[in-house]
């Protein structure tokens, strides 16, 4: 309640301000025939400095109404439309006349003559060019060296949200291009945070439709919103980057360097960074005060490239090659305390785990990707190779208590090891799709992937386990492992839709399309395990014949089907499209598995055959520029064979005392039938529309035969033994709902997204049926309101889940309930060039509870409360001061509070004019209370984990930002131009 009152208090000035604003409205028509002009741009400026106040794109009848205009200020209204001469009129609003109706504005055809001077100066910031929304940087008052991100923040209707996403009149932008192509890695920030205003000709927003979809209805339904930054012709080459050196207390030092170069056909990037903190964890326990255990060391070097083979981009006619090389290394230490509570039928076990870890790694990777598109054909090939080397050392102690009072067992574990891993990936696809009323005609698609990896690992483990309630379980072992593993996986999928033409030639077979499809997966895994144990008599390591083995597994999963499909399609141009698609796929699934091993009991071969058909009925109705309705009804089936580790696992009672696994050679293959119904509604009427709505409802029913689950038994010392069993059958019903809507009220943008699902089912156990229920939901609410020179945003996010599932533990069927809730509300304020501030409150709750015939212990619960406040002050000009404070209050699984405050601050200065140099001073964890706390629950366990974070240190950084866009000779003129 206090948070809500505080937020309302902050919003009060905005509400009061909104009550003292004016508006102007009217209609735009053609003076020749009086027809309404849709998509005309109406813009309101300040007369004194031509600063943009607001704009609007006219609707169907040429209507417009611009609100939230300032009073007692000289303004003028400018109206523009492609092919017509512009119109302008001076207006003045005050408390007597806060509303002006311009009635009907008639635009005359453009005769090529110059417009009035005021109109020439007032370039429309936003226009509609057909179906494309175009933003003109010349119409927005802003220093030309400012980047696109600052430019977009000054365009009404465009919102840059706290999570860095971007919306245009409420519609989310999903792709960003520069000159019609991805810019370097394709990320938003790479383009909008680096490209300056003076390099941009215009910014376009449009819907990109994928013609490689199977049906015309899918093309209309699955279009995505794209933003394209079109550079000026002379600016289509240049470079930008960042070079930083840093040093600080705690023996910390490092730096980074990045440089990106580009022209019309080539992008090349280099980046490198390194950071070392010698006393990362501060004053840790004396036993851990080892230099190697108190260090954070991370570095990386990489290059990327992208080469286009055509200078002019084309969405469906282009070829490109891109890839990169990266090498990195790190050496990090951590100290962790973890508490886990396990609820059993008549008792509970609590594990207290304390330990530290030191890890080192060195990694290299190289990748390349080739893509080609030509009309209705596309081809791609991807190749990747990576190699990693690493080592790890850990030391920990685990103490287990029964019912919070009786010590059941304790163990001490020490391990160290090293490993080398190589991975190779090759994948690609080819598509030849016919897009017409008969989409399957001659369509062919092929995709493939090949994966191979091998690894070598050597490790030593020392463990002392002491069972205090049963001395027979006390165990001490000292073991060495040396493992060589290799894995190969291949997948090929083929879909050919031209079988009807091949068999019946010109006969259309009553419009029924016939296709063939096959998906084949092949896998091969080889293990060479060499295990030896320390012999106390000879004081040497002797081979463990129970675990040392050579094993190999070959498996094939192949599904071959005959697809029959009938399409009913009707279209009236510029009105609607309607289609009904009925298809069935008659499939056979072959499962083959061959296991070879020096352990004779794992030499097994299995072959399974299943008939796994699928059927789908889809209806789609698309009202042009209005909405889309989709209905889908389907059935599918599949089978899964048990693995060798479920049938005949390798027993390792000494090393895994806490988790023993017992196989079941009588396990059968699992078979699943799934039925589903999908309903969707999508309403988007173009970028000038102020509202959008999307909804999706899905329902499904799954039937499973011979499901594979585990039955678990805990002993008095906390040890766990798991058995695999088949269930006679299980079934589940699920339903889900997702809605997303966006509204624009005057200047305020409201986005609401909500979703949820419910799943209920049953599983057969030896003691009867066990029932499960799961409920989940999430909601996102975002509000953005522009101020005179800034904006304020309010966001609320929540997700919850409540699951009730049966388990078979200690020969009793129990039901476990897991509940998780997350709530977060944040408020941010941004005044460009002056201040950025934010406040966030987050709440997290977890619980695990079990119910059975002898349940006596309450639910184990955890709670987390986190409050974060941040601000960045940017005045005086070129100076910035920032601070970030987070207060955390965690109630752990054993009901103990864990509180800490993490406070960081920084101060920086940009050297004037070009802003190519910056100096900054930062201090981290000022109060020395940094900890990473994680609470989670699953099944019958709830865990609180506390890891020591980086401790207090100061750091000084000096940065240089080299950049040039276009020719060197014109650079100074761009800097001097501050308004275009």
What span, in angstroms and rounded, lies between the C-alpha atoms of 691 and 741? 7
pLDDT, residue 50, reads: 73
**Whole-model pTM over 0.85:** no
Read off φ and ψ for residue 281, nearest 5 degrees.
-100, 5
pLDDT, residue 160, reads: 79
Q: Which positions ≥6 away from 87 have C-beta within 8 Å?
A: 78, 79, 80, 105, 107, 119
pLDDT, residue 582, reads: 94
Share of the chain above pLDDT 70, in %: 84
pLDDT, residue 337, reads: 82
Look at residue 450 and tell me whether its pLDDT is greater than 70: yes
pLDDT, residue 129, reads: 77
Look at residue 8 and tell me whether its pLDDT is greater than 50: no
pLDDT band at 65 (very low <50, low <70, confident <90, very high): confident
pLDDT band at 653 (very low <50, low <70, confident <90, very high): low
SS3 511: helix
- Left if phi > 0, otherwise alpha if psi is -120 to 50, otherwise beta: which for 15? alpha
- DSSP for residue 599: S
pLDDT band at 282 (very low <50, low <70, confident <90, very high): very low
What span, in angstroms and rounded, lies between the C-alpha atoms of 446 and 319? 19
pLDDT, residue 369, reads: 96
Task: Quote the strand ranges of 309-405, DSSP E.
Answer: 317-343, 348-374, 377-402
Mean pLDDT score, 172-177:
86
Q: Is 462 or 807 the better-scoring residue by pLDDT?
A: 462
Look at residue 284 and tell me whether its pLDDT is greater than 70: no
User: Across the strands, what pairs with 348?
Assistant: 343
User: Distances from the Cα of 886 to the Cαs of 881, 893, 930, in angstroms?
Assistant: 17, 22, 10
Mean pLDDT score, 645-655:
73
Q: Say which range, 196-200, 638-642, 768-772, has the weakest mean pLDDT.
A: 768-772
Mean pLDDT score, 487-511:
85
Q: Say which range, 168-172, 440-444, 586-590, 874-878, has the weakest mean pLDDT.
A: 440-444
Instruction: Please compute, for residue 709, the number of CA atoms within 13 A of its CA located in the half-sphere on the CB side.
Output: 22
SS3 719: coil
Task: Quote the strand ranges of 468-511, DSSP E.
Answer: 475-496
pLDDT, residue 500, reads: 81
Look at residue 9 and tell me whether its pLDDT is greater than 50: no
pLDDT, residue 291, reads: 39
Look at residue 955 and tell me whether its pLDDT is greater than 90: no
Q: Which positions ≥6 away from 528 have C-beta within 8 Å?
A: 483, 484, 485, 550
Look at residue 779 and tell me whether its pLDDT is greater than 90: yes
pLDDT, residue 639, reads: 87
Residue with tokens 């003129």: 973
CB 120 within 8 A of CB 193: no
Q: Which positions ≥6 away from 793 have C-beta within 8 Å?
A: 159, 161, 162, 782, 783, 784, 785, 827, 828, 829, 830
pLDDT, residue 661, reads: 79
Convert the pLDDT of each residue in 176-192 to its tens digit.
Answer: 888 888 888 777 888 88
Q: Is 437 or 729 the better-scoring residue by pLDDT?
A: 729
Q: Say which range, 125-139, 437-451, 887-901, has the weakest mean pLDDT.
A: 437-451
Per-chain mean pLDDT for the chain: 81
Closest CA to 696 of 748, 738, 637: 738
Mean pLDDT score, 62-66:
87
Overall size of the chain counted in residues: 980
Convert the pLDDT of each residue in 914-925 to its tens digit.
Answer: 678 889 999 888
Q: Which positions ≥6 away from 141 have C-beta within 8 Å?
A: 49, 50, 51, 52, 154, 979
Q: Say which range, 259-268, 716-725, 832-841, 950-959, has the weakest mean pLDDT.
A: 716-725
Look at residue 493 and tell me whether its pLDDT is greater than 80: yes
pLDDT, residue 220, reads: 44
Q: Can you spell out the DSSP letters for 429-477?
A: EEEE---SSSTTTT-EEEEEEEEEEEEEEEEEEEEEEEESS-GGG-EEE
Look at residue 118 and tell me whether its pLDDT is greater than 60: no
Q: Is 979 or 640 the better-scoring residue by pLDDT?
A: 640
CB 663 within 8 A of CB 647: yes
Q: Say which range, 563-577, 650-664, 886-900, has the weakest mean pLDDT.
A: 650-664
Mean pLDDT score, 779-796:
86
SS3 173: coil
Look at residue 286 and tell me whether its pLDDT is greater than 60: no
């Amino acid at each position: 309640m206090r948070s809500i009152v505080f937020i309302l208090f902050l919003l009060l000035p905005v509400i009061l301000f909104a009550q003292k604003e004016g508006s102007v409205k009217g209609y735009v028509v053609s003076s020749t025939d009086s027809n309404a002009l849709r998509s005309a741009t109406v813009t309101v400026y300040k007369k004194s400095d031509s600063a943009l106040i607001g704009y609007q794109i006219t609707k169907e009848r040429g209507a417009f109404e611009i609100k939230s205009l300032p009073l007692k200020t000289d303004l003028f209204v400018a109206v523009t439309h492609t092919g017509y001469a512009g119109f302008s009129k001076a207006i003045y609003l005050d408390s007597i006349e806060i509303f002006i109706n311009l009635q009907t504005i008639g635009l005359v055809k453009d005769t090529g003559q110059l417009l009035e001077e005021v109109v020439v100066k007032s370039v429309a910031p936003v226009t509609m060019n057909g179906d494309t929304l175009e933003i003109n940087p010349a119409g927005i008052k802003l220093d030309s060296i400012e980047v696109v991100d600052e430019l977009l923040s000054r365009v009404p209707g465009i919102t840059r949200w706290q999570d860095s996403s971007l919306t245009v009149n409420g519609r989310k932008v999903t792709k960003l291009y520069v000159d019609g192509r991805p810019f370097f890695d394709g990320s938003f920030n790479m383009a909008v945070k680096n490209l300056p205003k003076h390099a941009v000709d215009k910014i376009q927003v449009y819907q990109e439709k994928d013609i490689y979809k199977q049906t015309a209805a899918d093309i209309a339904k699955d279009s995505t919103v794209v933003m394209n930054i079109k550079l000026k012709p002379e600016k289509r080459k240049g470079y930008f980057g960042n070079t930083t050196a840093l040093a600080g207390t705690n023996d910390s030092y490092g730096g980074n360097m990045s440089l990106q170069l580009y022209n019309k056909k080539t992008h090349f990037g280099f980046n490198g960074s390194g950071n070392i903190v010698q006393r990362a964890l501060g004053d840790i326990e004396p036993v851990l005060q080892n230099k190697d255990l108190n260090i954070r060391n991370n570095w990386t070097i990489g290059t990327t490239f992208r080469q286009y083979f055509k200078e002019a981009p084309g969405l469906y006619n282009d070829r490109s090659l891109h890839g990169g090389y990266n090498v990195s290394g790190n050496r990090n230490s951590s100290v962790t305390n973890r508490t886990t509570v396990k609820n059993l039928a008549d008792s509970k076990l609590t594990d207290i785990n304390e330990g530290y870890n030191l890890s080192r790694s060195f990694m290299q990777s190289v990748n390349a990707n080739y893509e080609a598109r030509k009309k209705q054909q596309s081809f791609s090939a991807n190749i990747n190779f990576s190699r990693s080397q690493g080592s790890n050392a850990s030391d920990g102690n685990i103490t287990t208590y029964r019912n919070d009072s009786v010590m059941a067992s304790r163990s001490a574990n020490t391990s160290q090891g090293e490993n080398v891993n190589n991975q190779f990936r090759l994948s690609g696809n080819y598509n030849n799709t016919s897009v017409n009323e008969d989409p399957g005609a001659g369509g062919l698609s092929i995709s493939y992937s090949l994966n191979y990896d091998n690894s070598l690992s050597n490790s030593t483990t020392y463990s002392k386990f002491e069972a205090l309630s049963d001395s027979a379980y006390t165990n001490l072992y000292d073991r060495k492992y040396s493992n060589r593993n290799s894995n190969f996986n291949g997948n090929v999928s083929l879909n050919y839709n031209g079988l009807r033409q091949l068999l019946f030639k010109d006969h259309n077979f009553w419009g029924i399309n016939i296709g063939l499809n096959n998906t084949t997966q092949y896998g091969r895994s080889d293990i060479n395990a060499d295990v030896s144990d320390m012999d106390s008599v000879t004081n040497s390591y002797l081979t463990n014949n129970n675990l040392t083995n050579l094993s190999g597994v070959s498996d094939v999963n192949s599904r071959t089907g005959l697809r029959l499909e009938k399409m009913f399609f009707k279209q009236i141009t510029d009105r609607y499209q309607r289609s009904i698609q009925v298809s069935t796929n008659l499939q056979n699934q072959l499962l083959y598995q061959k296991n070879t091993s020096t352990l004779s009991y794992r030499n097994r071969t299995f072959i399974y055959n299943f008939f796994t058909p699928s059927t789908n009925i889809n209806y789609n109705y698309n009202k042009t520029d209005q909405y889309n309705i989709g209905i889908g009804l389907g059935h599918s089936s599949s089978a899964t064979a048990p693995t060798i580790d479920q049938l005949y696992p390798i027993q390792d009672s000494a090393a895994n005392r806490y988790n023993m696994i017992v196989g079941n050679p009588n396990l059968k293959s699992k078979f699943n039938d799934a039925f589903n119904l999908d309903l969707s509604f999508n309403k988007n009427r173009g970028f000038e529309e102020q509202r959008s709505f999307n909804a999706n409802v899905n329902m499904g029913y799954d039937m499973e035969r011979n499901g594979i689950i585990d039955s678990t038994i805990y002993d008095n010392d906390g040890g766990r033994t798991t058995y695999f069993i088949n269930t006679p059958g299980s079934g589940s019903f699920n339903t889900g709902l997702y809605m997303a809507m966006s509204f624009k009220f005057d200047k305020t943008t409201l986005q609401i997204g909500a979703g949820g699902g419910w799943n209920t089912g049953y599983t057969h156990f030896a003691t009867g049926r066990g029932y499960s229920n799961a409920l989940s939901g999430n909601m996102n609410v975002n509000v953005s309101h522009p101020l005179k020179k800034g904006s304020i945003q309010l966001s609320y996010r929540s997700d919850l889940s409540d699951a009730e599932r049966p388990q078979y533990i200690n020969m009793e069927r129990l039901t476990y309930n897991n509940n998780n809730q997350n709530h977060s509300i944040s408020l941010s304020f941004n005044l460009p060039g002056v201040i950025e501030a934010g406040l966030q409150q987050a709440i997290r709750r977890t619980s695990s509870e079990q119910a059975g015939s002898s349940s006596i212990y309450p639910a184990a619960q955890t709670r987390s409360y986190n409050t974060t406040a941040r601000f960045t002050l940017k005045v005086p000009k070129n100076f910035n001061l920032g601070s970030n404070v987070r207060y955390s209050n965690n109630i752990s699984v054993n009901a103990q509070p864990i509180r800490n405050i993490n406070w960081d601050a920084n101060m920086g200065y940009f050297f004037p004019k070009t802003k190519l140099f910056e100096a900054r001073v930062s201090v981290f964890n000022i109060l020395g209370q940094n900890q990473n706390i994680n609470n989670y629950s699953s099944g019958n366990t709830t865990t609180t984990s506390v890891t020591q974070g980086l401790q207090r240190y100061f750091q000084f950084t000096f940065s240089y930002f080299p950049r040039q866009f276009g020719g060197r000779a014109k650079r100074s003129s761009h800097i001097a131009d501050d308004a275009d």
